[in-house]
């Protein structure tokens, strides 16, 4: 079976240049089947979320040896895992076969008699061209592009780079791994006749919000790089097409380009918000303040489901998508189905919760029109539930406003369908970034999350918040009040109390600050 080419155990997958969205569909498919993901240090870690929960994740940085000595260990790990029958994804930056040593890894698999598949990826030059709007080919200026390494293996057998031929190449030069040797590369090109006035660029971290670039001529490129402080890894582009770039590239024109934003939602809910912020150009960090867990004891939930089956409730009210999923998963776990819910009506605190109901082919009868909060839901529900029996499905902790308000007009009870607990350990690297002032906006999507996050802020971080170096953005006035109650200033509050509203508040705040 290990030799069956149609069912390989090893996949050499190009992860692309940095943006998680540039992974291919095939790459995502095989990641979803992995037992082991062996990934490069520069691969965006968000791609690891595509692997199954059971998959082992190993960064090649953690293998024995220094950089040049790691490759035998990589080859050994691939062969051992595949021989043991594991599905292995070797996740490599860019494209596996463009300066990625994918050929050497494939050779080790062939030698071991193992079948494999190579999944191409977007290489850095293509991303740099697209994200900076530099046409790498142009019918008026360049009909070809050359991919060149700026860091040749000194012991390589055979021909070395012919810099005379490279200087005479009639197209765009894309030089990888050339920052450290840039003075030598420029000198070689000039020595063999390349004009010092040839347009040139250096791109660092292409395709992500940390992207930086400089534009110069070949003769002034190294000096320009030093003044800008660009460092490896970076890509050098040389040729007439560089001068055809857009003055305001589409990606760098995104409203949050380069802004650093902290997402504090629970891990399993953060993905959508992270993707939206990255699409807007932001550099996103994650630090969940709370964790969502199944209940240790479902006795009360099972009793409530029995009451629903017997028709003892007129309304079932959800205050979060988590509540919807927790209750309906439990219904399935005890061997029942949606027929048990009978003619009960549903209310949802907002559109996301209503969307969660639709996943189960259920439609909310009441969703507040504009104020997605306990108060808004209470006001929307009161005209419908007067004299009715209302069951509120919610977390093990939360505000009492909804229950108190509905109790004025209806018979109401509540059941905790999931646990919300504080995250055990804040992420040290994120706290360090906050201490250094490297994160500009902290998003706070609920009072509980705000309290959990802010309680972990030490005096250094608090000082940066108070001086306006870190800006706190709340999803609603209620969350804002929770922040202020802890003695922190609120920079902005969303006017629509949803994830999209919270993102819009960050965009608006960033835009206002750019005007100053």
pLDDT at position 151: 80
Q: Tens digit of pLDDT for each residue in 242-272?
A: 999 999 999 999 999 999 999 999 887 888 9
Q: Tens digit of pLDDT for each residue in 322-371?
A: 999 999 999 999 999 999 999 999 999 999 999 999 999 999 999 998 77
Q: Is a pLDDT exceeding 70 seen at residue 203? A: yes
pLDDT at position 39: 97
**Which residues lie closer than 8 Å to 399 by C-beta, 6 or more apart?**
374, 447, 478
pLDDT at position 189: 97
Q: Tens digit of pLDDT for each residue in 123-148?
A: 999 999 999 999 999 999 999 999 99
CB 59 within 8 A of CB 103: no
* Least confidently predicted of 12-21, 36-45, 59-68, 321-330: 59-68
Spell out the domains of the chain, with CATH numbers in brackets: 10-122 (3.40.1010.10), 125-244 (3.30.950.10), 260-289+424-515 (3.40.50.10090), 293-422 (3.40.50.10090)
Q: Tens digit of pLDDT for each residue in 492-509?
A: 999 998 899 999 999 999
> Which one-letter DSSP state was computed for residue 159?
P
Q: Tens digit of pLDDT for each residue in 430-457?
A: 999 999 999 999 999 999 899 889 988 9
Q: Is a pLDDT exceeding 70 seen at residue 462? A: yes
Question: How far is residue 502's CA from residue 492's CA, in Å, rounded to a whole number?
Answer: 9
Q: Is a pLDDT exceeding 90 seen at residue 291? A: no
pLDDT at position 158: 60
Q: What is the mean pLDDT of residues 175-180?
A: 94
**Which residues lie closer than 8 Å to 6 by C-beta, 6 or more apart?**
none
Average pLDDT score over the chain: 92
CB atoms within 10 A of CB 335: 6
Q: What is the mean pLDDT of residues 165-179?
A: 96
Confidence of residue 66 (pLDDT cuts 50, 70, 90): confident
Q: What is the mean pLDDT of residues 228-252?
A: 94
Helix, strand, coil in percent for the chain, rounding step 5: 40, 20, 40
**E strand map for 53-166:** 56-59, 88-92, 116-119, 145-149
**pTM of the complete model:** 0.83
Q: Tens digit of pLDDT for each residue in 102-122?
A: 999 999 999 999 999 999 999
Confidence of residue 1 (pLDDT cuts 50, 70, 90): very low
């Amino acid at each position: 079976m290990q030799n069956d080419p149609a069912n390989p155990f090893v996949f050499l997958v190009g992860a692309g240049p940095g943006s998680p969205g540039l992974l291919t569909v095939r790459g995502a498919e095989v990641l979803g089947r992995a037992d082991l993901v062996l990934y490069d240090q520069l691969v965006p870690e968000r791609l690891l979320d595509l692997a199954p929960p059971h998959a082992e994740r190993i960064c090649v940085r953690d293998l024995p040896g220094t950089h040049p000595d790691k490759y035998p260990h990589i080859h050994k790990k691939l062969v051992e895992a595949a021989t043991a029958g594991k599905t292995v994804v070797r996740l490599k930056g860019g494209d596996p076969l463009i300066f990625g040593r994918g050929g050497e890894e494939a050779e080790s698999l062939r030698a071991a008699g193992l079948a494999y598949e190579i999944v191409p990826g977007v290489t850095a030059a293509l991303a740099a061209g697209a994200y900076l709007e530099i046409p790498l080919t142009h019918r008026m200026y360049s009909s070809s592009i050359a991919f060149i390494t700026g860091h040749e293996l000194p012991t390589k057998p055979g021909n070395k780079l012919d810099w005379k031929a490279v200087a005479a190449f009639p197209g765009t030069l894309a030089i990888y791994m050339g920052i450290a040797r840039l003075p030598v590369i420029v000198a070689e090109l000039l020595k063999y006749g390349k004009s010092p006035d040839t347009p040139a660029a250096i791109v660092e971290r292409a395709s992500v919000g940390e992207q930086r670039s400089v534009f110069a001529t070949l003769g002034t490129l190294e000096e320009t790089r030093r003044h800008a402080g660009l460092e490896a890894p970076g890509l050098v582009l040389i040729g007439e097409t560089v001068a055809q770039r857009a003055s305001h590239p589409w990606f760098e024109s995104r409203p949050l380009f380069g802004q650093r934003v902290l997402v504090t939602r629970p891990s399993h809910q953060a993905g959508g918000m992270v993707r939206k912020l990255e699409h807007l150009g932001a550099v996103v960090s994650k630090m969940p303040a709370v964790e969502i867990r199944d209940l240790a004891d479902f006795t009360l939930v099972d009793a409530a489901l029995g009451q629903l089956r017997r028709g003892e409730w007129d309304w079932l009210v959800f205050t979060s998508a988590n509540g919807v999923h927790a209750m309906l998963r439990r219904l399935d776990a005890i061997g029942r189905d949606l027929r048990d819910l009978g003619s009960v009506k549903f209310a949802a605190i907002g559109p996301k919760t209503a969307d969660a109901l639709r996943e189960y082919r259920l439609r909310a009868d009441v969703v507040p029109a504009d104020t997605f909060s306990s108060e808004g839901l209470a006001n929307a529900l009161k005209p419908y539930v007067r004299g009715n029996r209302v069951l509120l499905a919610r977390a093990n902790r939360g505000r009492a406003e909804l229950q108190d308000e509905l109790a004025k007009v209806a018979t109401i009870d509540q059941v905790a369908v999931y646990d919300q607990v504080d995250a055990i350990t804040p992420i040290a690297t994120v706290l360090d970034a906050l201490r250094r002032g490297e994160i500009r906006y902290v998003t706070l999507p609920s009072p509980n999350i705000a309290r959990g996050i802010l309680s972990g802020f030490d005096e250094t971080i608090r000082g940066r918040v108070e001086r306006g170096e870190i800006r706190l953005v709340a999803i609603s006035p209620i969350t804002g009040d929770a922040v202020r109650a802890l003695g922190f200033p609120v920079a902005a509050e969303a006017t629509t109390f949803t994830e999209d509203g919270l993102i819009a508040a960050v965009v608006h705040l960033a835009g206002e600050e750019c005007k100053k």
